[in-house]
Amino acid sequence: MSYIVAFVVYQNGKQVYPINCWRADVKAGDAVVVRQETKGGDLKWARIVRTEFLNWKCRNYIECRASEAIFDSLGIRLPVPTPTVFGACRAAFVWEHLKATGWRRHHVGRNFKGAFSWGNHLEVANIFFRTNGVDIQLIEGSNNPALTLDGGLSFSLNLSPRAVRHTLSHSEINLFEWVIEFADAFKANSGPYDRFMKPVGRSDKRTEEFRLKAQEGRSVGLYEALGGAGGESVYLGDGLYLGPGGQWRGG
């Protein structure tokens, strides 16, 4: 999955294509090198039109900035190692920060990818990571009722009225950076944390543009851009599929 999706145009082209982007430091107007898995792995120059937080699963992806590669008679040569991943673009980036700053990691139920906790004499904070979101729970006191007997962590909205479920798709802000900001603020006991407890994002992964195209039956171009072929539906994650005729359906 790619939390950040870059919409790009290729050299001398006008059509805009969505591709995976694992670089948190790129923006609209940047020139990049794209690996076209839909074209046999070819490397192509492209310019970013915009980036959005969608958490899609595209086929093609950004290898690096164009300024980091070499363009010569041999074609496009990538730097070694190639900086395909940079910054807070994956949950693993947040996990590493939490572990490095002392948060305790827990095993968790199958509905979650991971969970962390931190407590002081005033409050306990639990952070749960889902495939398409992050949940934060604040509990008054020094005890953590979410802890299970085997050292795991269970999520329940009934444990505390102060809980929020954030969604990665359409978060409008980098939710991974935001969670790090919350974690650091909580550990430093620099509340209140009200601004972190207002839900962001929505579960429908379609952009407004593709929502309108779907209503008009014109999502075929998106199907091809995401690597669809052979009549099989393209999986975007969280039970959302796009069929070859432009139909969206749940799993």
And the tokens for 61?
């992806």
Amino acid present at 170 = H
Q: pLDDT: is 230 or 209 the higher one?
A: 209
Q: Does position 39 have pLDDT exceeding 70, yes or no?
A: yes
Average pLDDT over residues 106-119: 92
Which residues, including other chains, have CB under 8 Å from residue 209's CB and lie 6 or more apart?
none
Q: Residue 251's pLDDT is what?
A: 47
Average pLDDT over residues 41-54: 97
Share of the chain above pLDDT 90, in %: 65
113-142 as b/e: b if 16+ CB within 10 A? ebbbbbbeeebbbbbbbbebbbbbbbbeee
Please tell me the pTM assigned to this model: 0.82
H/E/C letters for each residue in 97-109? Answer: HHHHCCCEEECEC
The residues with which 235 forms a beta bridge, in sequence order, are 241
Q: Residue 71's pLDDT is what?
A: 96
Cα distance between residue 130 and residue 97, in whole Å: 17
Strand order in the sheet with 123-130: 104-106, 114-119, 123-130, 133-140, 162-167
Q: Residue 228's pLDDT is what?
A: 59
Q: Residue 148's pLDDT is what?
A: 87
Mean per-residue pLDDT of the chain: 88
And the tokens for 196?
């972190």
pLDDT in tens, 151-181: 899 887 777 778 999 999 999 999 999 999 9
Q: pLDDT: is 214 or 12 the higher one?
A: 12
Instruction: Categorize the per-residue pLDDT at 230 as very low, low, confident or very high, splitting at 50, 70 and 90.
Output: very low
Average pLDDT over residues 89-115: 95
Q: Residue 206's pLDDT is what?
A: 82
31-to-47, 50, 134, 229 alpha-carbon distances in Å: 4, 12, 31, 28
And the tokens for 70?
């070499």
Task: Catalogue the E-assigned strands of 22-154.
Answer: 31-36, 42-56, 61-65, 70-72, 75-77, 104-106, 114-119, 123-130, 133-140
Instruction: Categorize the per-residue pLDDT at 56 as very low, low, confident or very high, splitting at 50, 70 and 90.
Output: very high
Alpha carbon 50 to its chain's center? 15
